[in-house]
Structure 1
Amino acid sequence: MTEPSSVWGKADVSSGKGASDENFPVGSFLISKALRPHVHAYYAYARVIDDIADCETLTPDEKLTRLNAMEDVLLGKREAIMRPDSMSAAVLRASLTRTGVPFETATDLIIAFRDDSRGVEYKTWDDLLHYCKYSANPVGRFLIHLHRESANAFTASDALCTSLQILNHLQDCQKDLQRLNRCYMPSDMMALAGVTQDDLLAGRTSPRLRRVFNTLLDGVDDLNTQASALPTHIQDRRFRMECAAIVELAKRLTMRLRREDPLAGRVALKRADALHAAGAALRAWS
């Protein structure tokens, strides 16, 4: 077996990000206290593998080696070593075993982050949806399984998670290209609008690039419409409130990205958006 030091490497890949850096609640107070540790274990693992794929100092092969090692620990094929990245997989393995949540909700994420590590090109909207199927949708399915909710919620949950992922791509489109040489804008949309990736590096969005953004946001609007049904499929009252709040936040961020320029500065949710989300959560109480 390969020595642990060569598998895991010495470089610290942590981005320093935590749950408070996300657009949307991670294991918020609406999640029951008993389930919150499992949500935090899942988030910690997801944060590690995301940081591996986004690390600027690792080669693609080194990223893939680390991701494979994380998966091996998660599946019990390799012993964890005493360092935060390896232990996050071991902790999540224990959580999934205890709760009965399918391991696919964690291993599917690695499929997406392998693509990130390899630098896969997204040529079409369908390519982007396929990426989100693995990078985002497992998160919602993890929470649904954890709460022992019906599989009837999967379709709306997948729509919401895909919406959130594409919104994040739009927020970070310039930074992703600058730091990681990564672009999630479908190349066929870019070509049709007469723009290239270089247009993402400008200080403002050109009218042609705005057409690409708006086309993506049209698709996100459709996803948000599908996601609106999610609370109706959720029986647990607290989880239903959480879902309603996040659906509202997705809609609010979509509106902000319509009106604001992600190349001129990060488009972020505001206090007013949080108040709207709180109102949606309260309406979902009954």
Structure 2
Amino acid sequence: MNDLSVKPADSVWGEKDVTSRKGAEDENFPVGSLLFARRNRAHVTAYYNFARVIDDMVDNAELSPEAKIARLRAMEAVLRGEREAPHRADAQTAVVLRRHLLETGVPLETAADLITAFCQDAVKNRYASWEELLGYCRYSANPVGRFLLLLHGEDDCTLPLSDALCSALQVLNHLQDVTADLKLLDRSYLPQDYLDSAGAQIDDVLLARSKPGLRRVFDRLLDEVDILNDRASVLPGLVRDRRMRAYCAVVLGLSRRLASRLRRDDPVASRVKLHKRDGALALGQGIRALFPVRKSM
């Protein structure tokens, strides 16, 4: 029996490594940014690799909902040091991340909360309201910002502002993938009460272009995203670490630009994406954040 085999007692892991070929280049926002201090880049990479693997687990079409949850909970147990992991790439991301979190003192919950969200994805594919969607973002997106801020030693006062920005990013991603999520995963994050109010149907996202009612749903969600981005606008000014301050300014700029692009373009007709110019303009905002203007007394 070789090292990659799975013992019967560990059959929860299944026979296949689920790691996909997705990488940081597939993300909208800079997960491996050179804005991070060199000392922190390995920690961020370990977190991203873990998050990518558990995302792959829940989106794997070959696994039943029960198998997805069992495997995700096994990853959490490894993360918490409660069980061993087989010697293969997907499970070992939890081992590696646990080591990094213990080394830095960042709470394990910043990673374990992601598992809560993905377990929800395994069994829940519709959302009744905006409040319910925000509850999902609480576990699926907000922990990422908290991890980064705590890794950089930022104060707790920055966390609610980061939560607003991360929730905005999550909703924007849902809008980008609104058709693919339903077509490939039978999953929709569009609030049902918004759809009902606009006279729209979830299946409208499978048409060639958005109908007026569905467009109203998108715009209503983007109104909420604008509120979240406005709330997060003071975040860079509160971040003490200069590199992290610049990173927050870049991500906030990208979030605003993607929201604006989604207002102009139709995510049903084609996936709406950011362009290199968007990145350059957001980077300019980040550079300016490195050198804040001091108000004279």
Correspondence for 1:58:
63
Q: Does the alignment pair 1:162 with 2:167?
A: yes
Correspondence for 1:249:
254
Partners of 1:275 and 1:89 in 2: CA distance:
34
CA drift of 1:13 comes to 2.4
Correspondence for 1:39:
44
CA drift of 1:96 comes to 0.5
Q: 1:215-243 deviations in whole A, cap 9, x for unaligned?
A: 00000000010111110111010111011
8 Å Cα contact 2:19-2:89 kept in structure 1: no
Percent of pairs identical after alignment?
Answer: 53
Partners of 1:66 and 1:55 in 2: CA distance:
12
After TM superposition, the structure 1 stretch with the greater mean CA deviation from structure 2, 112-121 or 11-20, is 11-20
Where does 1:267-286 land on structure 2 (aligned, <5 Å)? 267-286=272-291
Correspondence for 1:88:
93
After TM superposition, the structure 1 stretch with the greater mean CA deviation from structure 2, 13-22 or 41-50, is 13-22
8 Å Cα contact 2:129-2:191 kept in structure 1: yes
CA drift of 1:279 comes to 1.2
Q: 1:45-102 deviations in whole A, cap 9, x for unaligned?
A: 0001111111111100010110011001001111121011110000000001000000
8 Å Cα contact 2:36-2:244 kept in structure 1: yes
Correspondence for 1:185:
190
Correspondence for 1:27:
32
Letter aligned with residue 84 of structure 1: A
Q: Unaligned stretches of 5+ in structure 1? A: none
Change (3 A) 1:120 1:205: closer
CA drift of 1:3 comes to 3.1
CA drift of 1:12 comes to 3.8
Letter aligned with residue 199 of structure 2: G
Partners of 2:224 and 2:288 in 1: CA distance:
26
Q: 1:104 aligns with which of 104, 109, 120?
A: 109
TM-score between the two structures when normalised by the length of structure 1: 0.98
CA drift of 1:155 comes to 1.3
Letter aligned with residue 255 of structure 1: S
Correspondence for 1:73:
78
CA drift of 1:19 comes to 0.8
CA drift of 1:4 comes to 5.0
CA drift of 1:5 comes to 4.6
Correspondence for 2:233:
228
CA drift of 1:27 comes to 2.5
Partners of 1:198 and 1:95 in 2: CA distance:
43
CA drift of 1:119 comes to 2.1
Aligned-residue CA RMSD (Å): 1.1
